Amino acid sequence: MTDGTMGASEDTRSDAPSAAAEGGLSSLTSVIFDEESSRLEAEKSEEFVLPDDLLPGVGEANAMKLGEGLKQGGIGMILLLLLLIVVEEFQQVALLVLGPDIQETLNISDTTLLGLISFGGVVLVLSTLPFAWLADRFSRTKVLAGATAVWGLFGVAIGFIVNPFQMGIATAGTGIGKAANIPITPSLIADQYPLGVRTRMFAAQTLGRPIGQVVGPIVAGGIVAIAGGGAGDWRWVFWMFGIPASMLAVAFFLKREPQRGRNEQKAVFGAEVHDNAVDDGPVRLSAAMARLKKVRTFYFLIVGIGVLGFALVAVPATFNLMMKDVYGYDAFQRGWILSITWSVSVITIPIAGRYGERLFRKNPPSALKLMGVSILLYGLFLTIGLRFESAALLIAFFAIGNAFQGMAFTQMGPTISAVVPYQMRAQAFAMVGVYIFLMGGFFGGLLTGAFSDAFGQRTALTVVVPPAALLGGLLIIYGSRYMKRDISLTVAELMEMQEEQKRMAADPENIPVLQVRNVDASYGTLQVLFDVSFEVKKGECLALLGTNGAGKSTILKSISGLLNPDRGVVRMNGRTITLVDPQYRVALGMMQIPGGEAVFPSMTVSENLELWSELIEDRSKRAERLDATFEVFPELLHLVDSKAGSLSGGQQQMLALGKAIMLQPDLLLIDELSLGLAPIIVQRLLAIVEQLKAQGTTMVLVEQSVNVALSVADRAVFMERGQVRFEGPAQELLERDDLLRAVFLSGEGA
């Protein structure tokens, strides 16, 4: 049974009889709703929210003129990022505008064309996560340069396709190249430019889309017209595309990237904080994804954007097909029309950027509500426009709708930058791509294409756009209520980091081997740990005690990386390891012996030991350390060919401790060493633990027996219902009858 389950089940048992006694099912239902209301009210009252003057970017004191912001951040970065999205949009728009011509050349249906165009989006999504991983480990500008070169190469290749398969390969290649832009570009903007102009910088970068949409169709249609307007002249557009892509790739390669998180550090501390201790490990992608979903603002934002994605990707392609099939416009005319539908956005996006920045300074949730309302208006104007047969009115309403869409996305980058810790920004923006294109874009494209083939483009858009915009906008508006809380938690982590760096700098010789700070952890929706904090000094043995379901094993899993904390920090020897891979922690010298699961049962004793010995880098010492293990546990020598699962409980624990003897870890985590073992075996194992302690091994010991735990522990932590109730010398805990009675009464004190 996992930690916390016992407490949950006991609460349920205590509520049900009383509810039934008061009147059966109706009374029980009433009790459930009352309890849920009470829980939500309690949760609301316990929300951690800092005063506005401590929130970065909030308050009129943070107002900054655009010229000052550009002076601090420079004009080069934003200009390159703006040009990048303009050229990207040009290539994408050319694909949409010339889609009917490509369709005619390849002799494919609407569904196939939309599927091939959407396929590039799917590949883009699958590539954003690897690029987020690369962005955390290498120079972001260099990664962006390489991706831009790949994107340009495959963009040119579109001009050479002769069948649908080749088009699929080419669009997939452009998707790979464009994928780096999603996680890297916004993180560069957030780090390059001060908070006082950040929203306007995001708006400037967002402006690249309508500029590309306005200029791209005209250029694409013009190139086709100059080439002669023949059946295959659309290819020239993509051949010409390689020139600006190559120039941008070189420019990014030469560009220097900013220090990560510097603007948040300046806002909170007044200056950049450099870690003079040791570098933190690389954030594990899966851990970052899991933790980001716990940032409530971000969660509702990406789900809302994902729902909106059903319309975002399908609308431009379907609209162009409608212009050709219903109204009979050629490529050059469609180019002009698409330009008109985005022309209003060139005006509204800068306005939205400046207005959103003011809203954020006054009240951050208002800026996110602006995004949600803009999405609702985007859906409204597109839906109304589809009711008109007149091409002029249809185009006018689409232009207004696109203007609101552009306004909405000026607020996305600043919101994510504010609520997500800077160490995870690349992963956060990568998830935006996943939700837009994979959750909404691909399936939305197929759904719209199917409706288009069966009922026509107008009906297809009428079916897809209204629900996507309505649900997407409402989800984002709902998520805004958590924004101040999430910004506060981000600031709190920064402040904790600074305090710890100061402490380490003041006393570098006494840095704790293990630090657990403000850790929350959950299993699904059930929160098990609440603000757990403690430290373990070098050579110290700490006993973790508590009632059943108190969260003892859960905190060990959070320390070893087997469970991702929802919040908080875990450090080892001053290095932040909260979200790094378990194997990275092992390389740092951490080892865990989980209760009842410390050996590989299908492998022999010899195979278990040989596998663990691979962690010893010096091959010459492997045999020496293996011999040392057999000296301590000679009975294992006679069982080397036996399956580990066939050993007795005591022998399995000997084998597990043999791993610790062989590897000599800096930090040893032991979960339930004495569980189910005879007293004589326990005494022998405790002697080995004492020996490891004497050798300087730092240990955290979770034990069901208070006597066993406190016989070797220097200090103790007592936990109850996921919270630390006592931390101090083991002898002081022995004097706390109230805590010990809780352990004994729960059946754990034998």
- HSE-CB of 59 using CA atoms within 13 angstroms: 9
Average pLDDT over residues 327-352: 85
Indicate the length of the chain as a whole number: 750
What's the pLDDT at 469? 94
3-state secondary structure of 381: helix
What's the pLDDT at 282? 67
3-state secondary structure of 520: strand
Could you tell me the pLDDT band of residue 345, with boundaries at 50, 70 and 90?
very high
Phi, psi dihedral angles at 556 (to 5 degrees):
-65, -40
Looking at the predicted structure, is the pLDDT value of residue 440 above 60? yes
Contact in structure between 265 and 194 (CB atoms under 8 Å):
no
Quick one: DSSP state of residue 53?
G
pTM: 0.77
Looking at the predicted structure, is the pLDDT value of residue 226 above 50? yes
Quick one: DSSP state of residue 580?
S
- HSE-CB of 680 using CA atoms within 13 angstroms: 1
Cα–Cα distance, 141 to 143 (Å, whole number): 5
Structural tokens at position 60: 């009129």
Phi, psi dihedral angles at 293 (to 5 degrees):
-65, -20
Contact in structure between 714 and 693 (CB atoms under 8 Å):
no
DSSP string of 392-432, one letter each residue? HHHHHHHHHHHHHHHHHHTTHHHHHHHHS-GGGHHHHHHHH
Cα–Cα distance, 32 to 741 (Å, whole number): 32
Neighbours of 67 (CB within 10 A): 9
What's the pLDDT at 12? 40
- The percentage of the chain sitting over the pLDDT mark of 70, rounded to a whole number, equals 87
Looking at the predicted structure, is the pLDDT value of residue 335 above 90? no
Going edge to edge, which strands form the sheet with 667-671?
Answer: 590-593, 667-671, 698-702, 541-546, 715-720, 723-729
pLDDT tens-digit profile of 9-64? 334 434 444 444 344 444 444 544 455 455 444 444 446 687 777 778 888 878 88
Phi-psi region of 161 (alpha: psi -120 to 50; beta: other; left: phi over 0): beta
Cα–Cα distance, 241 to 647 (Å, whole number): 68
Q: Which CATH class is domain 511-745?
A: alpha beta
3-state secondary structure of 210: helix
What's the pLDDT at 271? 65
Burial of 669 (C-beta count, 10 Å sphere; 0-12/13-18/19+): buried
Structural tokens at position 339: 């330009």
Could you tell me the pLDDT band of residue 479, with boundaries at 50, 70 and 90?
very high
What's the pLDDT at 500? 80
Q: Which CATH class is domain 60-488?
A: mainly alpha
- The percentage of the chain sitting over the pLDDT mark of 90, rounded to a whole number, equals 28
Contact in structure between 536 and 700 (CB atoms under 8 Å):
yes
Contact in structure between 566 and 421 (CB atoms under 8 Å):
no
Cα–Cα distance, 311 to 441 (Å, whole number): 7
Strands 526-536 and 514-523, by their bridges, are antiparallel
Rg (Cα) of the chain, in Å, rounded? 30
Which segment, 94-103, 256-265, 314-323, 363-372, is predicted with the most confidence on average? Answer: 363-372
Residue of 644, 703, 698, 714 whose CA lies nearest to 677: 703
Could you tell me the pLDDT band of residue 150, with boundaries at 50, 70 and 90?
very high
- HSE-CB of 367 using CA atoms within 13 angstroms: 30
Which segment, 121-130, 513-522, 636-645, is predicted with the most confidence on average? Answer: 513-522
Contact in structure between 346 and 210 (CB atoms under 8 Å):
yes
Looking at the predicted structure, is the pLDDT value of residue 178 above 70? yes
The tokens 């696109």 sit on which residue?
402
Contact in structure between 489 and 292 (CB atoms under 8 Å):
no
pLDDT tens-digit profile of 264-316? 888 777 666 554 334 566 677 777 777 888 899 999 999 999 889 888 878 88
Cα–Cα distance, 150 to 179 (Å, whole number): 10
Quick one: DSSP state of residue 125?
H
For 629, residues 6+ apart whose C-beta sits below 8 A from its C-beta are 609, 636, 658, 661, 662
pLDDT tens-digit profile of 637-692? 888 888 888 888 888 888 888 888 888 889 999 887 776 677 787 888 888 888 88
Contact in structure between 334 and 342 (CB atoms under 8 Å):
no
Cα–Cα distance, 541 to 531 (Å, whole number): 22
pLDDT tens-digit profile of 713-734? 889 888 888 999 888 887 777 7
Structural tokens at position 181: 């832009």
Quick one: DSSP state of residue 196?
G
Contact in structure between 276 and 501 (CB atoms under 8 Å):
yes
Neighbours of 602 (CB within 10 A): 9
What's the pLDDT at 740? 62
Looking at the predicted structure, is the pLDDT value of residue 7 above 50? no
Q: Where are the domains of the chain?
A: 1-34, 60-488, 511-745
Which spans in 551-601 are helix H? 552-560, 582-587
Contact in structure between 304 and 435 (CB atoms under 8 Å):
no
Q: Which neighbouring-strand residues pair with 439?
A: none
| Comparison of pLDDT for 204 and 105, the residue scoring more | 204
For the chain, give the mean pLDDT: 82
Average pLDDT over residues 463-475: 93
Q: What angle do CA 88, 253, 279 make, to 5 degrees?
A: 110
Cα–Cα distance, 621 to 220 (Å, whole number): 67
Average pLDDT over residues 246-260: 92
Which segment, 365-369, 493-497, 545-549, 678-682, is predicted with the most confidence on average? Answer: 365-369
Largest CA distance in the chain: 94
